[in-house]
C-alpha cells in the first residue's frame, strides 16, 4: 500500500519533517530533561538564535539559485557575496566559491528552496502540534504517537498539501517562524 512506500522525496515537507523534532535541542526544557538539571541557563539561552543560522543559509542558497536563473551570465561568486553581505552581514569575498559547499546547487537545481520552505513548514507544524498537545520539550510520551498518526503515517498515500492542510487547518504561514525568530532573539511576540 502507498503508505508503506516512504515519504515523497524532493519536497519541502520532507525537509520539514527532518526539522520537526530536531529544533527541540535548542530549547531549555529539552536540554534540562536530556542533559540534566545542572545545565547552565546562559548557554541554553544562547543556543536559541543559533538554531536558525542554518535556515538563514538555506534561504540564502535558494535566493542564489533564483538570482542566477534570472541572470545566468552573472558570476555566482559575485551574487553569493552580495547576498551574504547584504542579508547575513558577512564580509564579502567574491574571490571564494564557498556557496559551492552545497552539492544540491549542482546536482539538483532548484532543490535549495525546499530547505528554506521546509523551515517555514516545520515551524508551522510545531506550532500546530504545540496547540494540540502543549509543550512537549520537557517530556510528552504521547507526542510521537500523535505525530505518527497525523503526520508521518501517510507516506505516498496522501500529498504533502493534504497532510499539511489537515494538521494546520489552513494553508501554511510564515507567522510561526517569524514569532520563533523574534523569541530566539530575545523579543516578545
Model confidence pLDDT, tens digit, residues 160-174: 899 999 999 999 999
Q: What's the whole-number mean pLDDT along residues 48-65?
A: 84
Give the torsion through C-alpha atoms of 80, 86, 90, 92, to 10 deg: 50
Q: How many residues does the chain have?
A: 189
CB count, 10 Å around CB of 129?
21
pLDDT band of residue 27 (cuts 50, 70, 90) is: confident
**What value, to the nearest 5°, has the Cα angle with vertex 63 and ends 75 and 158?**
135
Give the torsion through C-alpha atoms of 113, 114, 116, 118, to 10 deg: 160
Cell numbers found for residue 90: 558577512
Output the average pLDDT for the chain: 85
Residues 6+ away with beta carbon under 8 Å from 117: 12, 15, 16
Residues 6+ away with beta carbon under 8 Å from 25: 31, 47, 51
pLDDT at 44: 54
* Cα–Cα distance, 110 to 13 (Å, whole number): 15
Helix residue ranges per DSSP H, the chain: 12-20, 28-35, 41-50, 53-70, 76-88, 104-107, 112-133, 143-150, 160-168, 175-184
109-142: per-residue pLDDT in tens? Answer: 888 888 889 889 999 999 999 999 998 887 888 9
Residue 91 half-sphere exposure, CB side, CA atoms within 13 Å? 1
Q: What's the whole-number mean pLDDT along residues 95-102?
A: 90
Asked if 50 and 31 touch (Cβ cutoff 8 Å), the reply is: no
157 vs 76, more confident: 76
pLDDT at 121: 93
43 vs 126, more confident: 126
Tell me if residue 88 falls in helix, strand or coil. helix
Q: What are phi and psi of 97, to 5 degrees?
A: -100, 45
pLDDT at 53: 80
> Is residue 145 over pLDDT 80?
yes
pLDDT at 187: 64
* Cα–Cα distance, 158 to 88 (Å, whole number): 37
Amino acid at each position: 500500500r502507498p503508505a508503506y512506500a516512504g515519504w515523497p522525496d524532493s519536497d519541502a515537507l520532507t525537509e520539514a519533517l527532518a526539522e520537526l523534532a530536531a529544533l527541540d535541542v535548542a530549547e531549555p526544557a529539552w536540554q534540562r530533561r536530556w542533559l540534566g538539571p545542572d545545565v547552565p541557563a546562559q548557554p541554553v539561552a544562547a543556543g536559541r538564535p543559533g538554531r536558525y543560522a542554518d535556515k538563514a543559509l538555506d534561504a540564502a542558497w535558494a535566493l542564489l539559485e533564483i538570482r542566477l536563473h534570472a541572470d545566468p551570465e552573472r558570476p555566482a561568486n559575485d551574487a553569493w557575496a552580495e547576498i551574504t553581505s547584504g542579508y547575513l552581514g558577512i564580509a564579502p569575498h567574491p574571490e571564494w566559491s564557498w556557496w559551492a559547499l552545497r552539492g544540491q546547487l549542482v546536482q539538483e537545481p532548484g532543490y535549495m528552496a525546499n530547505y528554506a520552505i521546509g523551515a517555514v513548514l516545520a515551524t508551522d507544524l510545531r506550532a500546530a502540534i504545540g496547540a494540540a498537545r502543549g509543550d512537549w520539550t520537557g517530556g510528552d510520551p504521547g507526542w510521537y504517537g500523535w505525530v505518527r498518526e497525523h503526520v508521518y503515517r501517510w507516506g505516498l498515500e496522501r500529498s504533502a498539501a493534504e497532510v499539511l492542510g489537515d494538521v494546520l487547518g489552513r494553508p501554511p504561514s510564515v507567522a510561526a517562524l517569524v514569532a520563533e525568530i523574534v523569541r530566539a532573539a530575545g523579543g516578545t511576540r
